[in-house]
Amino acid sequence: MDDNGNTGARPPVPQETDGNAQELVRDWELLFWGFLMFGVARLGWMYLYRPQNSAFHLGIACGFVFCGALGFLMRWVLRPGADGH
């Protein structure tokens, strides 16, 4: 047992970040939202116009949707204080 009072807990994560970090986060969020919207718009275009090589277009659209959704989820998961503390 450790008698010096060390509980092994991590120090608290600072809730505020500097302005440059917040601007960078906003830029990445905009990029991820752009990926998501482009992918959804491309899926809509595929539904309306039925292109000849649909597998290629479906792969491109789903790739953009996946990247956008993954980026959005990672921002949501990795934000400071996400673990409820």
Kind and range of the H or E run holding 34: helix 19-49
| Rounded average pLDDT over 39-58 | 94
CA distances from 83 to 18, 48, 80 (A): 21, 42, 8
Residue 4 inside a domain? The answer is no
Range from 5-9, 21-25, 49-53 carrying the lowest mean pLDDT? 5-9
Domain extent for 56: 19-78
Which carries the bigger pLDDT value, residue 3 or residue 68? Answer: 68
What pLDDT is stored for residue 24 in this prediction?
82
81 has a pLDDT exceeding 70 = no
Give domain status of residue 35, yes or no: yes
7 located within any domain? no
Residue 12 maps to a domain: no
Answer with the residue of higher pLDDT: 10 or 26.
26
| Average pLDDT across the chain, whole number | 81
Minimal CA–CA distance to 61: which of 41, 79, 75? 41
Q: Give how many domains the chain has, as a whole number.
A: 1
**Is the CB of residue 77 less than 8 Å from the CB of residue 32?**
no
Give residues with Cβ within 8 angstroms of 9, minimum separation 6: none
Residue 64 lies in a domain: yes
In a domain, 6, yes or no: no
Is residue 10 a part of any domain in this protein? no
Q: What is the pLDDT of residue 39?
A: 96
* Percentage of residues in the chain having pLDDT higher than 70: 71
